[in-house]
Amino acid sequence: MRENIARVYQRIEDARATYQAIQPVHLELAIKTQSAETCGLAAQALADPQFVSSHPILLGQNRVQEAVASAEAVKATEGASLHLIGPLQRNKINQALKVVDLVETVDSLKLAEALNQRVVGGPLPIFLQVNVSGETAKSGVAPAEFFRLAEAVLALENLKIAGLMTVAGRGTEAEVRPQFATMQALRDELAQRFDLGRQKPLELSMGMSGDMEWAIAEGATIVRAGTAIFGPRATR
């Protein structure tokens, strides 16, 4: 696993050089479908001194149930953060809040309000998920609705917008890069309109094993990789 992680960090550095991307780019391991044991080993691997000196220990789970099942193994590594990167049903919020450090998939005011009501002990960092591909099967707020949602979420005292997240559509570089560019434009305008991200710039969580280079070219600060680390997933 360490070798695969090292290879992805090399891809990240190569892409930063190729596209003259000056922002720091961190890796989040998408650990869905892995056993709790493997999730624990993944967190340990990220904590290797060769990585952790310049990167946080970030892992993402798609499903609340899997997040719960793997949390103890992940959190055995000091400093490991667990993000939720899949849809959050409102009846799973309490379970999610017990184990998840950040929810990347807030895409409606209803969900934001439900989260806001249940957070205890200080604001929960969240990312707003945007659907930039326009594919109806994908989660995320439409770009045209983004600022309305963002403004409403900013008024919720128990949530803190820490960034934006997307899953792009598949396609060629010419098709996919504009989607990532839209994300960067939304992030920059959000920061400017509401004076956000001065202390810590708003994150852009975008790019996966197949398209991380294009995302980095358009400003990604977190890329989420599963297949590149764990190999192809069994279908479920």
Ligand X SMILES: *Cc1c(COP(=O)(O)O)cnc(C)c1O
Give me the residues that bind ligand X (CB under 6 A), please: 30, 32, 62, 85-86, 167, 208-210, 224-228
Nearest approach, Cβ of residue 61 and ligand X (Å): 9
- The nearer residue to ligand X, 86 or 163, going by C-beta atoms, is 86
- The nearer residue to ligand X, 87 or 201, going by C-beta atoms, is 87
Contact 43, 74 (CB under 8 A): yes
Nearest approach, Cβ of residue 29 and ligand X (Å): 9
DSSP bridge partners of 163: 127, 203
Residues 6 or more apart whose Cβ sits within 8 Å of residue 198: none
Nearest approach, Cβ of residue 43 and ligand X (Å): 16
For residue 40, what is the enclosing H or E element? helix 36-46
- The nearer residue to ligand X, 219 or 226, going by C-beta atoms, is 226
Nearest approach, Cβ of residue 177 and ligand X (Å): 17
* Strands in 25-123 per DSSP E: 26-30, 57-61, 80-84, 102-106
- The nearer residue to ligand X, 62 or 158, going by C-beta atoms, is 62
Helices (H) and strands (E) in the chain, counts: 10, 8
Residues 6 or more apart whose Cβ sits within 8 Å of residue 152: 109, 112
DSSP bridge partners of 106: 128
- The nearer residue to ligand X, 116 or 205, going by C-beta atoms, is 205
Residue sitting closest to ligand X (CB): 226
Nearest approach, Cβ of residue 6 and ligand X (Å): 16
